[in-house]
Amino acid sequence: MPPTNLGDLQQLTMLALLRLGEDAYGSRIREELRGVAGRNLSISAIYVTLVRLEEQGMVTSHYGDAPARGGRSRRCFGVTPPGLDALQASREAANRMWSGLDAHLTKESAP
C-alpha cells in the first residue's frame, strides 16, 4: 500500500495530472504548476517527482505518439487508483487541520 503522507509538490503534481488528463506530459505539467499553483519549477524537478511517484505506485506513465514533425514521443502520466486514495487522504487530513481555525487566520488575531 502506498504512503498517504504526500508532500506539497507531490500533491500539486498529481493534481496537475488530473487537471490535464490525457495531455499530462512534462512541459504541460510545468505550465499547469506555474499557471495555476504559481510554482515555477524546473522540468527536472517535475520529472524527479513523477519518477518517485511512479515508483510508489501513485502514478503511471506511457509513451504517446511521436510529435507531427518528428522527434521523441511524449511520456504521458496519469494518477493510479492508489494515488487517488492518497490524494483524498491528504485532502481529508488537511481539512481536519484547517477545521476551526478561521478565527486564528485573521490579521486581528496575529501577535
Provide the pLDDT for residue 110. 64
- Is 2 within 8 Å of 83 (Cβ atoms)? yes
Residue-by-residue pLDDT tens, the chain, 111 positions: 445 689 999 999 999 999 999 989 999 999 999 999 999 999 999 999 999 999 999 999 999 876 667 678 889 999 999 999 999 999 999 999 999 888 888 877 666
Copy the grid coordinates of residue 100. 476551526
For the chain, what is the domain count?
Answer: 1
3-state secondary structure 3-47: CCCCCHHHHHHHHHHHHHHHHCEHHHHHHHHHHCCCCCCCHHHHH
Let me know if residue 86 belongs to a domain: yes
What CATH number corresponds to the domain at position 64? Answer: 1.10.10.10
Let me know if residue 45 belongs to a domain: yes
CA dist., res. 41 & res. 60, Å (int): 21
Containing domain of residue 83, as a range? 8-109
